[in-house]
Structure 1
Amino acid sequence: MTEIPPAPPAPDGPGPTGGVARSPLSDGDWHRMHPLTPLFRGGLVLVIVSGIIIANLRDRVIDVLFDGFFPGGFTGAEDPIDFVLGHDLVLVVLLGVLGVLLIVVGLFYLMWRFHTFRITGDDVEVRSGVLFRTHRRAPLDRVQGVNLTRPMIARLVGMAKLEVVGAGLDANVKLEYLSTTSAEAVRADILRLASGRQLAEATAKAERDRVSGRRAAGDLAATAALTVSSGLDGLVHGAEDPADEPESVVHIPPGRLIASQVLSGSSIALLAGIIAIVAGAVYGTPWVLFGIFPVVLGFGAYTIRTITRSLRYSIAPTRSGVRITFGLFTTVTEIIPPGRVHAVEVSQSIFWRPLGWWSVSVNRLSGRGAGDTGSDQFATVLPVGDRDDVARVLGLVLPHLGPEQWRAIFEDGVLGPRDDDPYVTTPRRARLFRPLSWKRNGFLLGDDTLFLRRGVIWRTLGVFPLARLQSVDVAQGPIDRRLAVANVRAHTIAGRVSGSLGIIDRDAALGLFESVAAGAVRAAAEDHSHRWDGDTFDASVDDPAPVLSASREHERGLGER
């Protein structure tokens, strides 16, 4: 059986994850955000809303302003500009506008001055607010990942925001905004500290002195021009992609991405609903057609948003974990450190089956609130891909899997069942409750991994590392007891991947319960990925051929047979 070749280590150098961390912003002192932060955190919205109000209530606003300063001297019939020019009030108006601008700038300055952050050896802390102060802290030993987001407008001026993902509900700490260069360096520092390794103080101090000297002697105009130029370059060419980091191991053609959305279950269901409504309108009441348009419009917007989010998708290994980048207009780059993936699911709908496409999702702590719809996008690590793409992605997010376990995933798991199926499936006496999927409905327990296989129309395979498993339960109802079957549920953190498996032989379920309990304790004791070493982390399968060689040899054997 062919072994998975080790990936070459990421090179050292000036990149954001190579070598030692050198950011002067990670020295344990309080630092301020980018000076334009108040504008992008709400000031821009305030300006837009004010413009809309003034445009719609122009006459009322002018009456209020002019009557306050010139009672009885201004009538609504007059043009305000002619009134100002005719009464030599240009200087007064300009001073008034200047006063308003000074007040706004003063408020923005206070917001910026009181918005600070610091990175110590134990925490990432952010303080904000003028009248009502807030102080958020993310312990580094609980960091689940660091997301770097670059909204389209912020990219034009070379700005980005960091989101430190915590291990709890609404536990994320946001650093918004920083310059893109500073954000990349700070992200590398946070991941380095979260790995259990301390920053090189001497190198950081030397870098800090060098940056300070360069700031003092630098030309402000040249710096601003360079920042805008880098922002425009980032908007044209996509997310930051340091030269010393490996390229994406998966490339999704735009045509495949669009076709996958058209052939998704929600699209087919919407099309069937539209056909039913149109048929009902033709033979019933035509006004029902008007109820379709809001649904179609909303679904169309959702589809376009889903496609644009998945464009420029890339996934690659780094020293600090798996780097995933996606987004056409707003670019998001997240790094998932080792040991932060709690469950993985490979799924395939019946509409994708002729094309050989799959998608891969994970359960991981996102640190967001339950009502935050944006957390769903972080669950997908492969929107659509072929078999080789799935192999590459699984090699990154599940680096502990050995070559002997790939047959359990592909031949026996996603594509199965085959001859000599190792999965424990629904017994013959209970096939009535799984009339289509009884052959696929089953589980397989490895040395350190639990596999749950389900579905015929929508095939899914759940992979649960025992070191991340929270608990497992076995449940029976009255009919289950009569048939001597049981339902099993593997508990992980909440997410898209389901750990439920029903209608399994009772004795097999009880045996699984005991084996998982013992295996989870053993795997958790041997697992040290929560405090990883950035110089030794290795999660890369650049070439899926070695990974799939064993399973494909098995396929050839079946064909000869």
Structure 2
Amino acid sequence: MSLPPPNPDERVSAPAPEPAAADPAAPAPVPPALVRSPLSDGEWHRLHPLTPLLRGGLFLIVVIGIVVANFRDRLIEGLFPWMLPSDWDEYAAESDPVDYVLSHDLLLIALLAVAGVLIVLLVLFWLSWRVHTFRITGDDVEVRSGVLFRTHRRAPLDRVQGVNLTRPMVARLLGAAKLEVVGAGLDANVKLEYLSTANAEAVRADILRLASGRQLGEAAAARAAPGSRTQAAVATLGAGLHGLIDGAEAPVAEPDSVVHIPTGRVIAAQLLSGSTLWLLLLVGFLVAGSIYGTPWVLFSIVPTIIGFGTYWFRQITKALRYAIAPTPAGIRVTFGLFTTITETLPPGRIHAVEVSQPLLWRGLGWWRIRVNRLSGRSATDAATEQFSDVLPVGTQADAERVLRLVLPGLPAAELDALFPQGVLGPTGSDGYETTPRRGRWLRPLSWRRNGFRVTSDALLLRSGVLRRALVLLPLARLQSVRISQGPIDRALDVANLTGHTVLGQVSGTLGILDRTAAQQAWAQVAAGAVAAAATDRSHRWDAAEEPS
């Protein structure tokens, strides 16, 4: 039986292809409502075109040093001709590489060699910039780099502890800045170095907004559809060239600081620090040694003073241009004169707070506030101490304003009682369990202040007479709590209480406490930490309310 001929008026439709299965490894799309920068669209982008130059600054300094060392004779002859000895012409003729090249007709070869080195450097710089890319998705911030040895780093957005924006002096002149996405772990930070200043500000805001837990479906301003990767690369290159032409960074909108530190206070605070006391003691020993011993020992004071002067200068310049202000994404801290660093601490990322007052600051009424938070660095890193100070030096009113910023979840009544009862205490009935009578000889000066208090939100540790300090450990961020005893502690029936947080400059240990009181505190803190962690939502600071 034959089939009828096909009707030309009838159209045969092919079966619809089955939809492809979603790739589980594909990155989550970026919600358009949460980003403002075209660099945060989930595609791979390149960094600032001057990134290889800014990152290779140390290498260039070494090259310049080699050149200066080889041409030092001509530099001395041009800058200080009156200091030359009588036989300078003979010495210069023997040691000057320029005269050697000219006298042996090697100028062309030397120029070709210099041109070849420059071309190789330019090619290497171009390759390193070409392969150094980043992208921001709905889940991660990723960076790929390396020519011979490839590196791929990823920072999950739900583990972001903060975003630091650093503007080194040379980069500021070129309109560039670098971002550091602080992750939850040692050496977990992801760096975007460098971006134009405007792009860095927008990308930082996008990362914080994506990491905040804000739900989809928010109303947002319409933005143009992203173009091709070529267009994005051209736009990035154009922004970098504009930054190079414009020079210094464009003005950045900064929120008003709640604290203003005069320059004189910064200098005086550094001069009244513990390092000054050590310097005075050292100078006293050296002077005594020169009087009663060998006089030449006195000459060692000069390099010591130079070293301390350099340290003071660096510490003072780091504390200048200080500002701290609340923003929707968290606490924004800015500091640094030559290298300006802007750090954004989202709520729920601060694990410990310490209010302290060195002895020499007491007459002036100055205080310092430090915090522990995940920084992605080791505790011995010099930058860890720099990032721990959220208030380098301030009055009591300044310290109270900063405490309200870093501890927004603490009830108002507790905040009002921190200074009179905790920092400046003790008072008649402040609720602190102090050192018992049998252990006071181990704390002869501070036994009245040496004590702790447990609230529904925090563990408070008060200590010190010469250096007064109050440590606050939010229970929702507490990792564990420990009671310990040594042989003397067991004999006196006292114990030491330690609240464990992330590594940092703030210590959560308090010793010589009544053993029974410490055990009760251990049970209270353990139960309170579980309850606080179960109800805490500060780490999702911008999340919409979850349905009940």
Q: TM-score, normalised by structure 2?
A: 0.83
- Name the residue aligned to 2:30: none
2:281 paired with 1:272? yes
Query: 1:138 is matched by which residue type in structure 2?
Result: A
- In structure 2, what is the Cα distance between the partners aligned to 1:462 and 1:430? 22
- In structure 2, what is the Cα distance between the partners aligned to 1:464 and 1:436? 25
Provide, for residues 295-321 of structure 1, a one-character-per-residue CA deviation record: whole Å limited to 9, x for no partner. 322222111101000000000011111
- Name the residue aligned to 2:10: none
- Name the residue aligned to 1:137: 154
Provide, for residues 348-383 of structure 1, a one-character-per-residue CA deviation record: whole Å limited to 9, x for no partner. 012111111000000011101354211210000000
- Residue 42 of structure 2, aligned match among 5, 8, 28: 28
CA displacement at 1:206 relative to structure 2: 1.2
- In structure 2, what is the Cα distance between the partners aligned to 1:297 and 1:180? 35
Query: 1:24 is matched by which residue type in structure 2?
Result: P
- Name the residue aligned to 1:325: 334
Would you say the 8 A contact 1:249–1:316 is kept in 2?
A: yes
- Taking a change above 3 Å as real, the CA distance of residues 424 and 82 of structure 1, as seen in their structure-2 partners, is closer
2:347 paired with 1:338? yes
- In structure 2, what is the Cα distance between the partners aligned to 1:353 and 1:342? 27
2:71 paired with 1:55? no
- In structure 2, what is the Cα distance between the partners aligned to 1:432 and 1:532? 47
Unpaired runs of at least 5, structure 2: 1-32, 74-91
- In structure 1, what is the Cα distance between the partners aligned to 2:534 and 2:441? 41
2:241 paired with 1:232? no
- Name the residue aligned to 2:58: 45
Would you say the 8 A contact 1:407–1:413 is kept in 2?
A: no
2:175 paired with 1:162? no
- Residue 128 of structure 2, aligned match among 103, 107, 111: 111
Single out whichever of 145-154 and 268-277 deviates more from structure 2: 268-277
Would you say the 8 A contact 1:192–1:198 is kept in 2?
A: no
Aligned residues: 494
Partner of 1:444: helix, strand, or coil? strand
- In structure 1, what is the Cα distance between the partners aligned to 2:398 and 2:72? 61
Partner of 1:482: helix, strand, or coil? helix
Partner of 2:224: helix, strand, or coil? helix
- Name the residue aligned to 2:11: none
- Residue 455 of structure 1, aligned match among 464, 482, 498: 464
- Residue 392 of structure 1, aligned match among 401, 413, 418: 401
Identity among equivalent pairs (%) = 62
- Taking a change above 3 Å as real, the CA distance of residues 53 and 508 of structure 1, as seen in their structure-2 partners, is same
Partner of 1:365: helix, strand, or coil? coil
CA displacement at 1:217 relative to structure 2: 10
- In structure 2, what is the Cα distance between the partners aligned to 1:507 and 1:78? 81
Provide, for residues 66-87 of structure 1, a one-character-per-residue CA deviation record: whole Å limited to 9, x for no partner. xxxxxxxxx9759776787799
Would you say the 8 A contact 1:323–1:333 is kept in 2?
A: yes
- In structure 2, what is the Cα distance between the partners aligned to 1:40 and 1:316? 30
Partner of 1:352: helix, strand, or coil? helix
Would you say the 8 A contact 2:143–2:152 is kept in 1?
A: yes
Query: 2:455 is matched by which residue type in structure 1?
Result: G
- In structure 2, what is the Cα distance between the partners aligned to 1:104 and 1:196? 44
Would you say the 8 A contact 2:161–2:375 is kept in 1?
A: yes
CA displacement at 1:429 relative to structure 2: 1.8
Partner of 2:504: helix, strand, or coil? coil
Alignment of structure 1 residues 261-410 onto 2, 5 Å: 261-410=270-419
- In structure 1, what is the Cα distance between the partners aligned to 2:469 and 2:40? 43
Unpaired runs of at least 5, structure 1: 1-18, 61-74, 235-239, 537-561
2:209 paired with 1:192? yes
- Taking a change above 3 Å as real, the CA distance of residues 114 and 213 of structure 1, as seen in their structure-2 partners, is closer
- Taking a change above 3 Å as real, the CA distance of residues 483 and 132 of structure 1, as seen in their structure-2 partners, is same
Single out whichever of 93-102 and 323-332 deviates more from structure 2: 93-102
- Name the residue aligned to 1:12: none
- Taking a change above 3 Å as real, the CA distance of residues 295 and 108 of structure 1, as seen in their structure-2 partners, is same
2:425 paired with 1:416? yes
- Name the residue aligned to 2:13: none
- In structure 1, what is the Cα distance between the partners aligned to 2:235 and 2:278? 63
Which of the pair has more CA radius of gyration? 2
CA displacement at 1:98 relative to structure 2: 3.4
- Name the residue aligned to 2:85: none
Provide, for residues 319-355 of structure 1, a one-character-per-residue CA deviation record: whole Å limited to 9, x for no partner. 1110000000000001001100000000001211111
CA displacement at 1:435 relative to structure 2: 0.5
Would you say the 8 A contact 1:156–1:228 is kept in 2?
A: no
- In structure 1, what is the Cα distance between the partners aligned to 2:151 and 2:495? 49
Query: 2:157 is matched by which residue type in structure 1?
Result: L
- Taking a change above 3 Å as real, the CA distance of residues 152 and 368 of structure 1, as seen in their structure-2 partners, is same
CA displacement at 1:57 relative to structure 2: 3.8
- In structure 1, what is the Cα distance between the partners aligned to 2:444 and 2:245? 62
- In structure 2, what is the Cα distance between the partners aligned to 1:404 and 1:107? 61
Provide, for residues 23-54 of structure 1, a one-character-per-residue CA deviation record: whole Å limited to 9, x for no partner. 11111111111111111111x33232122223
- Residue 147 of structure 1, aligned match among 137, 155, 164: 164
Would you say the 8 A contact 2:471–2:508 is kept in 1?
A: yes
Alignment of structure 1 residues 86-125 onto 2, 5 Å: 94-125=111-142
Would you say the 8 A contact 2:215–2:544 is kept in 1?
A: no
- In structure 2, what is the Cα distance between the partners aligned to 1:503 and 1:415? 20
Provide, for residues 525-559 of structure 1, a one-character-per-residue CA deviation record: whole Å limited to 9, x for no partner. 010112220799xxxxxxxxxxxxxxxxxxxxxxx
2:500 paired with 1:491? yes
- Name the residue aligned to 1:523: 532
- In structure 1, what is the Cα distance between the partners aligned to 2:326 and 2:95? 67
- Name the residue aligned to 1:69: none
CA displacement at 1:95 relative to structure 2: 4.7
Query: 1:320 is matched by which residue type in structure 2?
Result: A
Would you say the 8 A contact 1:23–1:207 is kept in 2?
A: no
Partner of 2:181: helix, strand, or coil? strand
Partner of 1:351: helix, strand, or coil? helix
Provide, for residues 470-517 of structure 1, a one-character-per-residue CA deviation record: whole Å limited to 9, x for no partner. 111111223222222111111111111111111111111111011001
Would you say the 8 A contact 2:176–2:249 is kept in 1?
A: no
- In structure 1, what is the Cα distance between the partners aligned to 2:520 and 2:326? 37
Would you say the 8 A contact 1:23–1:204 is kept in 2?
A: no
Alignment of structure 1 residues 468-483 onto 2, 5 Å: 468-483=477-492
- CA RMSD in angstroms, aligned pairs only: 3.0
- Taking a change above 3 Å as real, the CA distance of residues 90 and 338 of structure 1, as seen in their structure-2 partners, is same
- Name the residue aligned to 2:454: 445
- Taking a change above 3 Å as real, the CA distance of residues 376 and 88 of structure 1, as seen in their structure-2 partners, is same
2:143 paired with 1:126? yes
